[in-house]
Amino acid sequence: MNFDAVSGQASNGRVSNTPSVVDRLRASESGRVPFSVEFSPPRDEAAEARLWRAVRVFERLGPAFVSMTYGAGGSTRDRTVRVTGQLAQETTLLPVAHLTAVSHSVDELRSMVGAYADRGISNILVLRGDPPGDPLGEWIKHPDGVEYAEELVRLVRDLGDFHVGVASFPEGHYRAPDLAHDTKHLVSKLRAGAEYSITQIFFDVDQYLRLRDRVAAFDPIEGAKPIIPEIMPITSLRSVRRMVELSGSKLPAALDRQLALAAGDGPEEDRAAVREIGIDLATTMCERLIAEGAPGLHFITLNFTRATAEVLERLGDKIGSAVSGPSELGSAGKEQPELGAVDVVVPVPVSGSAAPPDPGIGQVPAAAAN
C-alpha cells in the first residue's frame, strides 16, 4: 500500500496482500494453539543486539505474529517504525505495530500509519496510550488529536486495508468506572472495525474468562472475535510489582505473598526461587487457557527469550508453530546459549500495560521477562 501522508490517502499496494493476525490464528496447526510475542524498540546498540538475537530465536520457533510496542507519547516513534519495518522486510515474521493516540495530532497519526504502510506493515494494534511521565496521570487530549482508541480505529481503517487490533482488560481498564462501561467501549472498538483484541496482563485465568463472557453477552457477533490473552512469565518480584502498578492492573494478594516469601528478606531477591514460581504459574495459566479455547497466547518478552521459551517447551505439542516444516518448538527451552544467559536487571519497557517512558509501557526492570 502506498500512502501519501500529506493527503492522508492510501492506495492499494503490497500490504493489502500481507496476512492478518486473524488469518494467522486461523491457520495454526490443527489442535494446537498458536503463540505470539511482544517486543519493545531498543534504546541503544546493546539492546538492539539483544532484540535481534531474540528475533532470530523466535523466528525459529514460529510465532503467529510479533508485536512492537510504541513509547509513551511517541517517545520511541522513529525506533518503533524502523525496527518494525526491519521485521517486515528482513525476517519471516509477521509484525504488528503498536500505535498510540496520546500527544499526537490526527496529521501525525496519519503520517505514522503512512510510515508503516510504506514499510509493508498492515497489522496495527491501535491504542489510546497513557500520559507520558505518569501513566496513571490525567489524560489530556491533543488539541488536534483523538480522545479514545475507538476514533483511532476508524481513522486507521479509513486510511486503507489495515488489520486493526485493540487492547482489552480482564480486570476492566483502570479509568473505567465499572465493568459494564469497560465492556461497552471495548465492543465499540470492535464495531468500529477492530478484528481482535489483546489483553492486558493478568494472573487469574477466571478474569480472562469473565471478560470473554461479558463481551459475548453484550454483543455475540463482536464477542466471537478473538480475545488473545497476554502472558508475562514472572521472573522478578520487584519488576512484576512495578509493572502491575504502571499498568493499573493487580497482582493477586496470595500470589504477591507467595512471591515475597520466595524472594526472601535479603538485599537482593532470590530470583531463582521467584522465577520458578513465575514459570510454573505461566505454564499452568497457559494450559488452562488452551483448555478453555483461547485463540492464541501472546507473551511479553522484553526482548528476552528464555522465560517464554521455557514455558513454550513445557506446553509441548499443545502449541502450534507458524514455521513451515519442522520448527524448533520442541527444544524451545533447551539449547539457547544466547537466550537469557545473563539475568541482568536493566531498565526496559514493558508493554501490554501502561506506556513506558522509553520503549513501551512503564519503565520496568527488564529482567522481569527472563
Ligand X SMILES: Cc1cc2nc3c(=O)[nH]c(=O)nc-3n(C[C@H](O)[C@H](O)[C@H](O)COP(=O)(O)OP(=O)(O)OC[C@H]3O[C@@H](n4cnc5c(N)ncnc54)[C@H](O)[C@@H]3O)c2cc1C
Among 128, 214, 271, 306, binds ligand X (CB under 6 A): 128
CB of 151 to ligand X, least distance (A): 8
- SS3 assignment, position 364: strand
The residues with which 142 forms a beta bridge, in sequence order, are none
From 53-61, 115-123, 165-173, 251-259, give the range in contact with ligand X by CB under 6 A. 165-173
Residue type at position 69:
T
Asked if 179 is part of the footprint of ligand X (rule: CB under 6 A), the reply reads no
Asked if 66 is part of the footprint of ligand X (rule: CB under 6 A), the reply reads no
Asked if 363 is part of the footprint of ligand X (rule: CB under 6 A), the reply reads no
Known active-site residue 269: no
Among 96, 167, 240, 297, binds ligand X (CB under 6 A): 167
Report DSSP state, residue 27. Answer: T
Catalytic residue among 38, 59, 151, 230: 38
Cβ count within 10 A of residue 133 = 10
Closest to ligand X by CB, 150 vs 269, is 150
Taking the C-alpha atoms of residue 286 and residue 299, their distance in angstroms, rounded to an integer, is 10
- SS3 assignment, position 298: strand
Asked if 249 is part of the footprint of ligand X (rule: CB under 6 A), the reply reads no
- From first CA to last CA, the distance across the chain in angstroms is 37
Taking the C-alpha atoms of residue 260 and residue 300, their distance in angstroms, rounded to an integer, is 22
| DSSP H stretches of helix in the chain | 21-26, 45-61, 77-90, 106-118, 149-159, 179-191, 205-218, 220-223, 237-247, 253-263, 271-291, 306-315
Find the binding residues for ligand X in span 26-45 (CB under 6 A).
none
Closest to ligand X by CB, 356 vs 365, is 356
Q: Which residues would be at the binding site for ligand X (CB under 6 A)?
A: 69-70, 72, 98, 100, 127-130, 148-150, 166-167, 173, 175-176, 181-182, 185, 189, 198-200, 230, 351-355, 360-361
Residues annotated as catalytic are 38
